[in-house]
Amino acid sequence: MKILAAMSGGVDSAVAAARAVDAGHEVVGVHLALSRMPGTLRTGARGCCTIEDSMDAQRAANIIGIPYYVWDFSERFKLDVVDDFIAEYTAGRTPNPCMRCNERIKFAALLEKALDLGFDAVVTGHYANIQADAAGNRELHRAADWAKDQSYVLGVLTTEQLAHSMFPLGSTPSKAEVRAEAAARGFSVANKPDSHDICFIPDGDTRGWLAERVGAEKGIIRDRAGDIVGSHEGAQAFTVGQRKGLNLGVPSPDGRPRFVLEVKPATNEVVVGPKEALDIAEIAGTRFTWAGLDPVASGLIAGPGDPFDCHVQIRAHSEPVASVARLVATGSGTELVLRPTTPFDGVAPGQTAVVYVGTRVLGQCTIDRTVSAVPVPA
């Protein structure tokens, strides 16, 4: 097959590209330019968008012996990922920009361009597996190395996208093996540190970065009963579950610490309460996708309204929680409702819930609303 290897300049995508060549494919390396003004290590940038990353990717492509190009997706990235990130935070939600990038850039804009230009698939260094069921339908599964598993951020992929994606690292038992393989192949990036931060926030200061772009206005902090218990310098600086930095003037009645339960950008208010109020008994959203066959076609349920057992993961590295899922028709469409058997901890609207059945990623849902496990005392 003719394969496009998306090469970030990191060790994983370099090894993935090399493995695609070893598997007999005709491979071309492409680095995505996601910033109009790429930073450089010289000016303190880090993440995966620096000029040095582009050079690392090219050097790896040279060693593998494949052609290498840089394609400019900076405008799409700004529109679909950066602006979306700002808009979501402004609306009081907590978005996952890596997920959005996978959904709109890597497996959408890039994949479509690749297919249009004559490629059959895109290969990336993500740790996840694509398997086919008995009938040949493609399914997304967790990686062999659960510690490195990235199936969560790939939960947005659809059947069509899975059909044109390859993840050669998914069955590798550990990241250490990938690094060893990179060293054996002579890649200079074999020991390059993993990227952790949001790539477009070079110094890692998300709050400061947001404050610069959306401004910060003083507002009030209330408890669950609606009483004012303090003030703040800008609601977007808070995240659900946060305890530190609240500087509340009024002590809680029982003297126990309070946590951020809700951020309300419309009124610039922050709601705080006891830790147990962070426990969430139900999450739901109307924006969901299936990574392959839907639950009915997969044979999990007989009819679209039937409940089914699953595991739900609400962050890239959180523990999956055993849950019951059900599709519920609402006035405006269909809502995916997820009820955990033990409460979720500190979920914020805007986060993505990925639904697993065993190792299989069934699909994902952007959380629109949450229901606390602890009702507000009357």
Partner 1 sequence: MNVYLDHAATTPMLADAIESYTSSLGIVGNPSSIHSQGQNAKRMLEEAREAVARSLGCDPIEVVFTSGGTESINLAVKGLYWERNAGGTPRPRILVPEGEHHATVDTVEWLERYEGAVIEWIPLDALGRVRLDAVESALCRHDDIALVTMLVANNEVGTIQPVSEVVALAVAHGVPVHADAVSTYHHLPIDFASSGLAALSVSAHKIGGPLGIGALVLARSAKVVPLIHGGGQQRDVRSGTQDAPAAIAFGIAAAHPIVPLTALRDRVITGVLAVVPEAVLRGDPVHRVDNNAHFTFPGCEGDSLLFLLDAAGVSVSTGSACRAGVPEVSHVLRAMGIADNEARGALRITLGHSTTEADVDALLTALPAAFARASRAGLADREVPRAV
Letter string b/e over residues 290-317, b meaning 16 or more CB atoms within 10 A of that residue's CB: bbbbbbbebebbeeeeeebebbbbbbee
Distance CA 144, CA 128 (A): 8
Catalytic residue among 48, 98, 199, 365: 199
CB 352 within 8 A of CB 364: yes
Distance CA 156, CA 278 (A): 26
Contact between 188 and partner 1 per CB under 8 A: no
Cβ 29 to partner 1 shortest distance, Å: 11
Burial of 183 (0-12, 13-18, 19+ CB in 10 A): middle
Cβ 227 to partner 1 shortest distance, Å: 40
Cβ 351 to partner 1 shortest distance, Å: 16
Contact between 287 and partner 1 per CB under 8 A: yes
Distance CA 8, CA 205 (A): 22
Q: Catalytic annotation on 98?
A: no
Q: Which of 51, 63, 163, 374 binds partner 1 (CB under 8 A)?
A: 51
Cβ 112 to partner 1 shortest distance, Å: 6
Q: What is the DSSP letter of 256?
A: -
Q: How far is CA 168 from CA 19, 28, 152, 172, 197, in A?
A: 7, 15, 17, 8, 24
Q: Catalytic annotation on 101?
A: yes
Contact between 113 and partner 1 per CB under 8 A: yes
Q: Helix H segments across the chain?
A: 11-22, 51-64, 74-77, 83-90, 97-101, 111-116, 159-163, 175-184, 206-214
Nearer to partner 1, 274 or 285 (CB): 285
Contact between 256 and partner 1 per CB under 8 A: no
Q: Which of 1, 70, 214, 374 binds partner 1 (CB under 8 A)?
A: 70
Contact between 104 and partner 1 per CB under 8 A: yes
Cβ 130 to partner 1 shortest distance, Å: 17
Q: Which of 23, 41, 87, 117 binds partner 1 (CB under 8 A)?
A: 117
Q: How many residues bind partner 1 (CB under 8 A)?
A: 34
Contact between 335 and partner 1 per CB under 8 A: no
Nearer to partner 1, 111 or 210 (CB): 111
> Interface with partner 1 by CB under 8 A: which residues?
28, 31, 33, 36, 38, 51, 54-55, 58, 67, 69-73, 75-76, 79, 103-104, 108-109, 112-113, 116-118, 156-158, 161, 287-289
Q: So which residues are the catalytic ones?
A: 101, 199
